[in-house]
Structure 1
Amino acid sequence: MVKTVFRSNEIKNKEEKFQLRLLHDYAPVVEEVIEEVPEYEGPTADDLRREAEEYKKQFEIEKQGMLDEAQRKADEIVKKAEEAAFAEVKRQTDQAQVIKTQAETEISKIKAEAQAEAERIIAEAQAERDKIINESKKQGYDTGYEAGYQDGQKEAERLVERMHSILDNVMKRREEILSETEYQIVELVVLMARKVVKIISENQKTVIMNNVLQALKKVKGRGDVTIRVNLADAKLTTEHIQDFIDRVEAVKGITVVEDTTVEKGGCIVETDFGAIDARISSQLTELEQKIMEISPVKTVAKSDMPAN
């Protein structure tokens, strides 16, 4: 065992020098210089959060403003289209009145000519009758008069029947002219209305947006819907799906489907409760019915029209 404690008499000085090997390297410690980091003076997390909330609110306001402006423009376009359509209807209706007046004038002329012809025929019949009677009197009072009277009576009856036949033909032709004229007028007005609506639906992108929005507002209950549109309107409708959902509470989800049977600008909205038809052709049919209701002339069906 190695002795570690010595008495004083056991210790002796030695002239010899010994070098002890160190177990560790005791190099001078270099003090680490800590670089001073400048204090952060930018916005805090709360500041950034408040700024984000403010930006979100401002974005919602601008978004709503854009939607309102788009709706206003759409309503304005629809209103102008309706005004143009009904202005054209009024113009065509006024023109129809002129055509009807001309037709009635022509009918009156034909009727007057027929009446004059009938009166001439009656006068000839009476003259012929009187002539036969006078001639019969000369041939003999008894036999001659009776025979002459009978001949005159038959001739008069024949001429009267001819007069009635002419009058019947005149009245029949009058009704045919009126029917043809009235039907052509209504057809002209409807055709003009179709052209106006067709031009607007094909050239105004907002037409499909307004049609879809108005159809969605008629949806009952809350759930998913399928919107069938023309191929040309599919992209624009798909891009505004979220806008439709935001503006119509009854709609939870929307699927846009292309449908070749739907004209450009129109749509069909399918729900669990049924379908809402907002096609341009369906709206035109409704417009035609309204035109028929306000039309001042009596229309006839195509099957009832007289053959030309």
Structure 2
Amino acid sequence: MDDGSRDERRPVVSGSSRVIGKVIKGGDGATELPLQEKPALPPPPRRPGVLNAEEYEAKTVAKQIIADAQARAEEIKAEALRFKEEVFAKAREEAKADVQARAAEEIARAKLQAGQVLADSEKDLLELALKIAAKILGRDLEREPDLVMEIVANCTEAARSAKAMIIKVHPEDGKILREKKPRFMELVGRQLDISVRDDAEVERGGCIIQTEYGTIDGLIRTQFDMLRNVLTPTEVKKEVK
């Protein structure tokens, strides 16, 4: 593949993948900084793959759970409205001002409760959905360890113009990448100098890729942090700010 026509300061992102990474751009195009001093490039792109269906399942579960929580909140609001009408009817019949005051207080309390239930449910159920996604990924890696080759290959897409890469992975994953390097290079889809290094601090399925332009953060926890940010409801984000 001819990389000469590409801007070597910008990673190319294509396709879709469940692998997400945080990328830090390193330096300007004229001066190459030492690998350890360069910032991370943008996250690895997504492309269709074996894990795509599992990630879609996790997102679908999360959205469905949140939708159910929202529906429940609407039911609570409807119940509060019915309660309001009943209390006001009683107040009109008895013509007692204190009944109206109590009704207003109960209505306010019910509305507050409904809003709190919705907010708490969305945050809690989102975390549950992410845990489900993590378990799905973990089961896939245990059942098919070779999937790590596709995960890491997807991460390299964020730096297609790079001529050389140092890929840090868990020792178990490093063994697979080295033993099946021809297949791994097919998934990478281009010729470049790749050095695989073991790093026990990198969890299974994740990777850190260093190039002459910067570093790609393909750690699993980074990918799920980004997924959490995508799925977090706007209202919850405002509360955090």
TM (normalized to structure 1)?
0.51
Identity between Structure 1 and Structure 2 (%): 20
Q: Which amino acid aligns with 2:214?
A: G
Task: Tell me whether 1:300 sits opposite 2:236 in the alignment.
Answer: yes
For this pair of structures, how many residues does the alignment match?
Answer: 192
Q: Which amino acid aligns with 1:239?
A: E
**Are the aligned partners of 1:183 and 1:299 in contact in 2 as well (CA < 8 Å)?**
no
**Are the aligned partners of 1:229 and 1:267 in contact in 2 as well (CA < 8 Å)?**
yes
Kindly provide the CA deviation profile for residues 29-55 of structure 1, in whole angstroms up to 9, marking residues without a partner as x.
Answer: xxxxxxxxxxxxxxxxxxxxxxxxxxx
**Are the aligned partners of 2:205 and 2:220 in contact in 1 as well (CA < 8 Å)?**
yes
1:167 aligns with 107
**Are the aligned partners of 1:222 and 1:250 in contact in 2 as well (CA < 8 Å)?**
no
Task: Tell me whether 1:107 sits opposite 2:48 in the alignment.
Answer: no
Q: Which amino acid aligns with 2:236?
A: V
Kindly provide the CA deviation profile for residues 192-230 of structure 1, in whole angstroms up to 9, marking residues without a partner as x.
Answer: 222212222343222221123223343355544211101
Structure with the bigger RCO (C-alpha within 8 Å, sep 6+) is 2
1:228 aligns with 168
Query: How do residues 209-288 of structure 1 correspond to structure 2 at under 5 angstroms?
Result: 209-219=149-159, 221-241=161-181, 249=190, 251-252=192-193, 254-288=194-228
Once the 2 structures are TM-superposed, how far is the Cα of residue 277 of structure 1 from its aligned partner?
1.7
Could you tell me how far apart the structure 1 residues matched to 2:210 and 2:70 are? 45
User: Could you say what secondary structure the match of 2:159 adopts?
Assistant: coil
Q: Which amino acid aligns with 1:87?
A: E
User: Could you say what secondary structure the match of 1:266 adopts?
Assistant: coil
Q: Which amino acid aligns with 1:251?
A: L
2:43 aligns with none
User: Could you say what secondary structure the match of 1:256 adopts?
Assistant: strand
Query: How do residues 1-308 of structure 1 correspond to structure 2 at under 5 angstroms?
Result: 79-91=49-61, 93-124=63-94, 126=95, 156=97, 158-219=98-159, 221-241=161-181, 249=190, 251-252=192-193, 254-292=194-232, 300-301=236-237
Could you tell me how far apart the structure 2 residues matched to 1:218 and 1:173 are? 46
Kindly provide the CA deviation profile for residues 230-249 of structure 1, in whole angstroms up to 9, marking residues without a partner as x.
Answer: 12112222334566567654
Could you tell me how far apart the structure 2 residues matched to 1:225 and 1:219 are? 9
**Are the aligned partners of 1:182 and 1:298 in contact in 2 as well (CA < 8 Å)?**
no
**Are the aligned partners of 2:170 and 2:200 in contact in 1 as well (CA < 8 Å)?**
yes
**Are the aligned partners of 2:73 and 2:117 in contact in 1 as well (CA < 8 Å)?**
yes
**Are the aligned partners of 1:81 and 1:197 in contact in 2 as well (CA < 8 Å)?**
yes
1:7 aligns with none
User: Could you say what secondary structure the match of 1:260 adopts?
Assistant: coil
Of 267-276 and 202-211, the range deviating more from structure 2: 202-211
Once the 2 structures are TM-superposed, how far is the Cα of residue 272 of structure 1 from its aligned partner?
2.2
**Are the aligned partners of 1:268 and 1:277 in contact in 2 as well (CA < 8 Å)?**
yes
**Are the aligned partners of 1:122 and 1:159 in contact in 2 as well (CA < 8 Å)?**
no
Could you tell me how far apart the structure 1 residues matched to 2:150 and 2:78 are? 51
Which structure's CA Rg is the greater one? 1
Q: Which amino acid aligns with 1:263?
A: E
Could you tell me how far apart the structure 1 residues matched to 2:209 and 2:84 are? 60
Once the 2 structures are TM-superposed, how far is the Cα of residue 274 of structure 1 from its aligned partner?
0.8
Describe the shift of the 1:97–1:249 C-alpha distance in structure 2 as closer, same or farther (beyond 3 A). Answer: closer
Could you tell me how far apart the structure 1 residues matched to 2:127 and 2:238 are? 10
**Are the aligned partners of 1:202 and 1:265 in contact in 2 as well (CA < 8 Å)?**
no
Q: Which amino acid aligns with 1:97?
A: A
**Are the aligned partners of 1:202 and 1:264 in contact in 2 as well (CA < 8 Å)?**
no
TM (normalized to structure 2)?
0.63
Could you tell me how far apart the structure 1 residues matched to 2:93 and 2:200 are? 71
